[in-house]
């Protein structure tokens, strides 16, 4: 493949993020096909045109389906609101396009299953935008676990916290509406679960609780409305590999801005990570003398691929958008049939099943198996 034709649907936070990645990926990484930014779709034509120009796409349209008929497009980035993922991803796959779909996969397990089946039928590459797994620190953690650096894992803790729902005075918005999903569990908890997935594998059973810090919110137009989502979710989990664990998700956590904290305890050591310092991980290895043991803080550098493709000097720091560039590169590798570090629709579906079990557990106040 000499050239990879790209179509982008959506121009919001994630749309721009994909656009930046498509612009950068070939300059960062060697030996990639040429990237042709073929077309960009947005539901509003003016926005589509402005963004196509800013992002360097050749064509702008308000008809996303027109991308599917475009033979110069090989892969479609789907970055629209969550409830549109299923329809667009399925259509793109059926049109023979590869798909790079943002997370969460869908707004229901049934939709996610349709997407998985479409991917399987098509034989095309279909991955989800779980960009945090692309952090060299997370890859390093996965590698350490795989090679037994901390022995058999007995226990894991995973926390994800931000404060965009923390203000009780903020007005009712879509995120408080039950239509948007469960709340913390699916709206952003999936990112946390993606890290669990690539480090420790699949959840076997779960007991979950959800909480609502502010049961009502004021309406912009006056009056109040009952809140339908839960900004806090907590779970006890048992992993298929045997480890016990707990997951805590809070999108009303004042002061937390991008925290995804992982603590993994094994028979020979412990690994910890906090995404608010995304270029670091900590590891404690058993075996050192009692007077010289301690958690080591590893700063990412060229020894932690693919950091070195961005900066040849260690400790100089990657950022959020760099992780999307790595994801883009891994997507291309997968399209080319090469080794790839990505979460495809199958793994994404496994994450959705975990969420679904958690939601059922909460509804029934009982432990629930993840089928």
Return the residues of window 253-312 that contact a copy of itself according to CB under 8 A: 253-259, 265-270, 276-278, 282-286, 289-299, 301-304, 310-312
- Using CB under 8 A as the binding rule, whether residue 58 contacts a copy of itself is answered as no
Task: Return the residue matching tokens 């007077």.
Answer: 291
Q: How far is the CB of 169 from a copy of itself (least distance, A)?
A: 9
Pick from 94, 320, 363, 369: which binds a copy of itself (CB under 8 A)?
320
Q: Are strands 232-239 and 244-250 parallel, antiparallel or unpaired?
A: antiparallel
365 near a copy of itself, judged by CB under 8 A: yes
| Binding-site member from 19, 68, 196, 355 for a copy of itself (CB under 8 A) | 19
Among 33, 209, 228, 360, binds a copy of itself (CB under 8 A): 209
Cα–Cα dist 357/186, whole Å: 12
Q: CA distances (Å), 352 to each of 129, 159, 193, 232, 265, in order?
A: 14, 18, 9, 18, 25
Question: According to the binding rule CB under 8 A, does residue 360 interact with a copy of itself?
Answer: no
Part of the chain binding a copy of itself (CB under 8 A), chosen from 110-118, 236-244, 341-349, 351-359: 236-244
What is the closest distance, in whole angstroms, from the C-beta atom of residue 268 to a copy of itself in the complex?
7
DSSP 10-39: --SHHHHHHHHHHHHHHHHSSS-PEEEEEE
Residues 177 and 173: their CA atoms lie apart, in Å, by 7
CB of 287 to a copy of itself, least distance (A): 10
Pick from 200, 194, 201: nearest CA to 132:
194
For residues 144 to 173, the per-residue mask of contacts with a copy of itself, x marking binding by CB under 8 A and - elsewhere, is: ------xxx-xx-x-x--x-x-xxx-----
**Residue for token pair 């679960």:** 193
Distance CA 124, CA 144 (A): 31
95 binds a copy of itself (CB under 8 A): no
Of 167 and 177, CB closest to a copy of itself: 167
Output 132 or 349, the one with its CB closest to a copy of itself: 132
Task: Report helix, strand or coil for 110.
Answer: helix
3 state SS of 270: strand
Report d(CA 353, CA 369) in Å as an integer: 10
Q: Does 24 bind a copy of itself (CB under 8 A)?
A: yes
Instruction: Work out how close the CB of 363 gets to a copy of itself at its nearest, in angstroms, rounded to a whole number.
Output: 13
CB of 126 to a copy of itself, least distance (A): 25
Structure tokens at 243: 């480890």
Count, residues near a copy of itself per rule CB under 8 A: 97
């Amino acid at each position: 493949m000499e050239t990879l034709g790209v179509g982008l649907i959506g121009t919001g936070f994630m749309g721009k993020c994909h656009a930046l990645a498509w612009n950068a990926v070939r300059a960062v990484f060697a030996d990639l096909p040429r990237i042709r930014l073929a077309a960009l779709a947005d539901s509003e034509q003016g926005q589509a045109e402005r963004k196509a120009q800013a992002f360097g796409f050749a064509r702008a349209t308000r008809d996303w389906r027109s991308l599917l008929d475009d033979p110069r497009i090989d892969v479609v980035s789907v970055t629209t609101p969550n409830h549109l993922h299923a329809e667009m991803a399925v259509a793109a796959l059926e049109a023979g396009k590869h798909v790079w779909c943002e997370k969460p996969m869908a707004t229901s397990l049934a939709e996610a299953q349709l997407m998985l089946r479409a991917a399987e039928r098509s034989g095309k590459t279909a991955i989800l935008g779980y960009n945090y797994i692309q952090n060299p620190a997370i890859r390093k953690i996965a590698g350490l676990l795989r090679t037994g650096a901390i022995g058999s894992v007995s226990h894991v803790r995973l926390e994800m916290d931000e404060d965009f729902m923390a203000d009780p005075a903020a007005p009712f918005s879509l995120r408080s509406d039950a239509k948007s999903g469960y709340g913390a569990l699916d709206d952003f908890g999936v990112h946390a679960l993606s890290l669990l997935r690539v480090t420790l594998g699949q959840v076997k059973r779960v007991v979950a609780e959800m909480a609502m810090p502010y049961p009502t919110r004021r309406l912009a137009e006056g009056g109040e409305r009952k809140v339908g989502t839960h900004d806090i979710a907590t779970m006890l989990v048992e992993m298929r590999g045997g480890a016990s664990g707990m997951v805590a998700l809070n999108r009303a956590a004042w002061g937390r801005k991008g925290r995804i904290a992982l603590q993994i305890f094994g028979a020979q050591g412990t690994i910890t990570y906090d995404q608010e310092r995304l270029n670091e991980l900590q590891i404690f290895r058993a075996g050192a003398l009692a007077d010289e043991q301690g958690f080591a803080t590893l700063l990412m550098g060229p020894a932690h691929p693919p950091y070195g493709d961005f900066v040849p000097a260690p400790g100089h720091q990657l950022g959020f958008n760099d992780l999307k560039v790595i994801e883009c590169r891994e997507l291309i590798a997968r399209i080319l049939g090469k080794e790839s570090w990505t979460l495809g629709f199958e793994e994404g579906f496994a994450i959705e099943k975990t969420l679904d079990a958690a939601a059922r557990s909460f509804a029934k106040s009982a432990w629930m198996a993840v089928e």
